[in-house]
Every structure is written in structure tokens, then in C-alpha cells.
Amino acid sequence: MAAILLPLGFVLIWPVLLIFILSFNTARDMFVGPAVWGLENWRVAFTEDRIPRAIANTFLIWGVQFVVSMPLSVFIAWVLARTRIPFSHALEFFFWVAYVTPGGVVAWILLLDPYIGYINILALKLPFVETPVFDIFSVGGIIWVGIMGNGIALKVMLLTPAFRNMDAALEEAARVGGASALGTMLRVTVPMMISPIALVMALQVMRIFQSFETELLLGVPIGFFVYSTVIFDLVRMVEPPRYGQATVLASITLVVLAFIIPLQRWILQRRRYTTISSGFRPGLVSIGNLKWAAVGFLVLLHLLLTVVPVVALVMGSFMQRTGFFEVDPPFTLRHWNFILSDPQFLTGLRTTLTLAFTTGLLSPILFSMLAYILVRTRWPGRFLLDSTIWVSAAIPGMLSSLGLLFLFLGTPGLSFLFGTIWALIIVVILQGNTTGVNIAKGAFVQVGFDMEEAARVSGAGWLRTYFRIWLPLLMPTMVLLGTLNFNIAAGTTASIILLASRDSVTLSILLLNHVIAADREMAAAISIIIGSMTLVTALIAREWGRRMTVRHR
């Protein structure tokens, strides 16, 4: 445990402590000249008027998105995993497509911009419409993009494998007792799934302070700031940067963690949630003719999540100027020719591929081993390890990047990592550790101890048990972890933007630069490239995972 905690603490906790220490440095420029220690940063940070407004805005956006997306995601996961509906695996996979397709905010800007948005242009052609119908640059626009982005897709991806790993005998007993399909879901399935549901809820709470790109691109132009964009404004948009006050704001997330960690551990330990044992029998529930209504609803949802945004991106990437259909000709290959011949794009593509594949392969192995230690062993220090993993998620990406920048440049022997692909790999793997380890924990909790004990009694060692028992049962989760971290590596911006150099720039950073510069055609083209790369990888990984896991017949 010491060999695990020391390096994890150094790269996860020390940057947080370093930022906290520097929050007391009140010098005008903390990087030049002697330090001036005091509490001025803390006083100013909590007395400015926009700080309370930004925090209130953050909870407003998160709360509305959560109330809408969480119940809907639980229902969708139950329909996909526990009922007998046509095309269930295809419909489930399209949630993967929705998640790994980046550029959602870019697509909805192209669709709902009040002046050049495709939908508004079409609406203005109607005789009774005189003003733009939709405005994506609004509070409602931020909420909509958040829900249509990863608000639903990610939760369904996390919950569906857990719902699928449930013994059908429990539901059959409820049906024999006279319960309807809906009653069985509410009285049996959902209570048995409270562990993964609570995990997803906890991870969602952690995202209160994490969202950044959507709020930056849609909120800042109208003066609507949230927690993360205020931090970005303090660090990057004012001169000189107010690093001290920005780091003070990060302490708020530690207060949230103080409630999340004990709550999550209490939920996991108060009762058993084993749904797979040596007597496991898969099976599905019939919902009769309602299956076609469920399929129709899911198809409509996928049109909004994926098809409409992808069509908008493709159109935008080929237009002379997005929204100006009267230009002759309206479409061109000029943007694609420029991007594919741009040396900076080729550098970004090479860096992104290296970063994504390395992260996607290493992270499931690392996270599953940490989860095994937390769930299946009685080693001392497990609570400290679990707390370390949770605390690492408390710092928003921008401040995490800043802390690791201080770590790499200020630690003898580590300065050579700055600006290299190795620094980005370390950062991206660490960025996904809280979600990855806790997803793996949820999977380990579901599998009964008798499975491992039977293998050990038969003479199998730990490695053979892992590959013959754990790996097939956990394959959906392992593939999910690899795909999630591949997507994180391909699309992350805030956590690496301060650590990347010109030689290690990624496609996501190029994408953000083009959006900020209002070069939406280039941004649409880069979004399509990133989305195609992650989609092909997810398709291959998911099919491989399905061949090695539990099957419902």
C-alpha cells in the first residue's frame, strides 16, 4: 500500500497542496520576485460580487441538467439491459457514438446561432416568423447542450453494463408475485442497482465544478459566468493573472468531497449488492407491445444526440461561410485542403493518436487493479487510497494543469517532462482515475466472492483467476474504461493546455483555438476527424468486448 500511495500522492495530492500554498502568496506576480504571504487573496475571492453569482449559476446549470438526465438515463439503461426489445445492442452502441463524437457545442452553435444557425435560417423563411426562434447563447442553450452532449450518453454507458449483470431470478420472483414490469423495475431492479446508480450520482456531483468548454463558448459572450469560467478568467483573461484568487476558489470543491466520500462508502458497505454469483442466470423481461414505443423513443433521442449534430458538422466543414447559403458556390473543399496539409494539424494528429491509444490501453489495467485492492482486499490504508483518488477529482482541469506545471518545473529531475507526450500521458491517465476506479469498483461489488474462491480451490493462481474469471465478467467494464479514457485523451483541453508545447499540441487544443477565433468551418472539420477516430476505436473495442463477456440468450 505504501508503494501505491507514495507515487499517487506525489502526482495527485502534492499539486493540490502546492496550489493551496501558493494561494497565500499575495505578490502581484507570484512567479517573479519574492513571495508576499497573507490572506488578501482569500478575502478578495469571497467578497467579489461575481463570485457568488458564478457559484449560484454553476448549481443552477448542474441542477437542471441532473434532474432531467438522471431519471431518464436510469430508465433507458433498464430498457436496454433488462427488457426484451429489438435492436437493443445497436441502440446501446449509439449512446457510445453520441459520447465519443466531440464537437457537440460546435454543432449546436451551427444549428441554433441566432443569426447564422441553420434551424433559425429555415424558421425565418416561414411567413409568421420574423425574429430568430432559438438562441444558443443563453442559459437554456447551455443546459440543452449539456444534456444533449454527455448528460445522457455517459450515464447510460455507465449504468447499462451494471443493469445487465443482474440475476433474472430476482425479477422473475417479483413477476410471480404479481408485480408488473414497471413495478418490478421500481421495487426490485432499481433498489438492487442502487450501488452503480449512487456511483454515477456521485460522479455527476463531482462535475458541478468541472464543465468548462460549453460554458466558456456559450456563457461568456452574454456575461454568464460559472465556477470554471471565472477561474479561467482569473488565470488567462486578466493582466496580470490572479492566480492566488483562482486557487482559493478550488477549495470549495474540497467541501463537496467531504460529503461525497463518506456517503459513497456508506452506500457500498451498508448492505450487499452482489448480482453475479455461481448461480447466476441471465434473462430479460418482456414488456409486450411497449417495446416498439421504447424503440421509437430511443431512435428519436439518437437523432437529437448524434445524427442532427453530425449533419450540422459535415455541412459546416464544407461551407464557404457557415450560414451564408447565398454565397456562390456555397460549398467548398478549401477548409479540408488547408487542414490536411497543415503541419500543425499533422503534429496534433500524431500526438492525439499516441496519447489516446496509450491511455486507452493502460488505464483499464491500472484502474481495475486499484479497484480490486479497494474492494477485494483488507489491506490497511484502503480508506486513505480511496480518499486520495476522490480528492484528485476536486480540482478543475485548468487548476490541475497549473499544479502539475509547477510540479514538473519545480521538481529536480522532472523538468524534462514538460512539453513532452509523456507529461500529457501521465496527466490524462490521472484525469480519468476517479471515474475509472469507481466504475471498476462497482463491477467488483457485483461479482460474488464464490466465483474467485472456486477458482482458487481448483488451483488457479491470482493471474489465472484474473484472466479466466475476472476478465470475462469485467470485459464490458474494461472496454468501457478503455473507450472512456481514449475519448478523454482525444478530447481533453483544460487539463493539458498549460503542459503542451508546439511539438505536443493535440487536436482538441487546435479545435478550441478555432472556435474561439470564430473559425467554425475549421472547427467543424477537426471535430469530424476526432469523432471518426474515436468512433472507429469504440466500435472495434465494443465488439471485441462483447465476444468475451456474459451473454443473454
Give the residue with greater pLDDT, 118 vs 417. Answer: 118
Question: Which pLDDT belongs to residue 255?
Answer: 66
Query: Per-residue pLDDT tens for 60-76?
Result: 988 898 899 988 998 89
What span, in angstroms and rounded, lies between the C-alpha atoms of 178 and 97?
Answer: 38
Query: Per-residue pLDDT tens for 294-348?
Result: 899 999 999 988 888 888 888 888 888 887 777 778 888 888 888 888 888 888 8
Neighbours of 254 (CB within 10 A): 13
Angle at 127 between CA 121 and CA 128, to 5 degrees: 95
Q: In the chain, what percentage of residues exceed pLDDT 70?
A: 85
Could you tell me the end-to-end alpha-carbon distance of the chain, in angstroms, rounded to an integer?
Answer: 42
HSE at residue 116, side-chain half, CA atoms within 13 A, is: 18
Question: Which pLDDT belongs to residue 523?
Answer: 83
Neighbours of 123 (CB within 10 A): 15
What span, in angstroms and rounded, lies between the C-alpha atoms of 39 and 250?
Answer: 15
H-helix or E-strand spanning residue 249:
helix 243-249
DSSP category for residue 233 = I
**Which one of 136-150, 191-205, 483-497 scores highest in mean pLDDT?**
136-150
**Dihedral class, residue 30 (left if φ above 0, else alpha if ψ from -120 to 50, else beta):** alpha
Query: Per-residue pLDDT tens for 469-502?
Result: 777 777 777 887 888 788 778 877 777 877 777 7
Angle at 293 between CA 289 and CA 297, to 5 degrees: 160
Q: Are 530 and 352 in contact (CB under 8 A)?
A: yes
- Could you tell me which CATH number the domain at 2-276+337-547 has? 1.10.3720.10
Report helix angle 104-112 to 520-547, nearest 10. 130
Neighbours of 492 (CB within 10 A): 25
**Of 383, 496, 345, 382, which Cα lies nearest the Cα of 429?**
496
Average pLDDT over residues 107-119: 87
Q: What is the DSSP string of 371-431?
A: HHHHHH---TTHHHHHHHHHHTTSS-HHHHHHHHHHHHHHSTTTGGGTTSHHHHHHHHHHH
Cα of 372 vs its chain's centroid, Å? 22
Give the residue with greater pLDDT, 542 vs 304. Answer: 304
Angle at 315 between CA 107 and CA 306, to 5 degrees: 45
H-helix or E-strand spanning residue 107:
helix 104-112
What span, in angstroms and rounded, lies between the C-alpha atoms of 500 and 490?
Answer: 14
HSE at residue 268, side-chain half, CA atoms within 13 A, is: 23
Angle at 501 between CA 496 and CA 505, to 5 degrees: 65
With 70 as the cut, is the pLDDT of residue 546 above it?
no
AA letter at 328: D
**Which one of 22-31, 110-119, 235-244, 418-427 scores highest in mean pLDDT?**
110-119
Q: How far is CA 10 from CA 299, 465, 486, 498, in A?
A: 47, 32, 24, 19
Question: Which pLDDT belongs to residue 132?
Answer: 84
What span, in angstroms and rounded, lies between the C-alpha atoms of 159 and 451?
Answer: 23
Residue with cell 470549495: 252
Neighbours of 491 (CB within 10 A): 22
Question: Which pLDDT belongs to residue 273?
Answer: 47
H, E, C per residue of 161-198: HHHHCCCHHHHHHHHHCCCCHHHHHHHHHHHHCHHHHH
Cα of 23 vs its chain's centroid, Å? 28
AA letter at 340: L
What span, in angstroms and rounded, lies between the C-alpha atoms of 472 and 476?
Answer: 8
What are the two backbone dihedrals, phi and then psi, of residue 329, each rounded to the nearest 5 degrees? -85, 155
Average pLDDT over residues 532-539: 80
The lowest-confidence range among 5-19, 45-59, 266-280, 403-417 is 266-280
Give the residue with greater pLDDT, 193 vs 318. Answer: 318
The lowest-confidence range among 64-68, 120-124, 247-251 is 247-251
Residues in Cβ contact with 68 at an 8 Å cutoff, skipping those fewer than 6 apart = 147, 151
Q: What is the mean pLDDT of the chain?
A: 79
Which set of grid coordinates corresponds to residue 25? 502568496
What span, in angstroms and rounded, lies between the C-alpha atoms of 346 and 312?
Answer: 24
Which set of grid coordinates corresponds to residue 159? 449504468
Give the residue with greater pLDDT, 400 vs 142. Answer: 142
What span, in angstroms and rounded, lies between the C-alpha atoms of 439 and 433?
Answer: 10
Which set of grid coordinates corresponds to residue 10? 506525489
Q: Global pTM?
A: 0.75
With 70 as the cut, is the pLDDT of residue 252 above it?
no
**Of 396, 462, 501, which Cα lies nearest the Cα of 19?**
396
Question: Which pLDDT belongs to residue 300?
Answer: 93
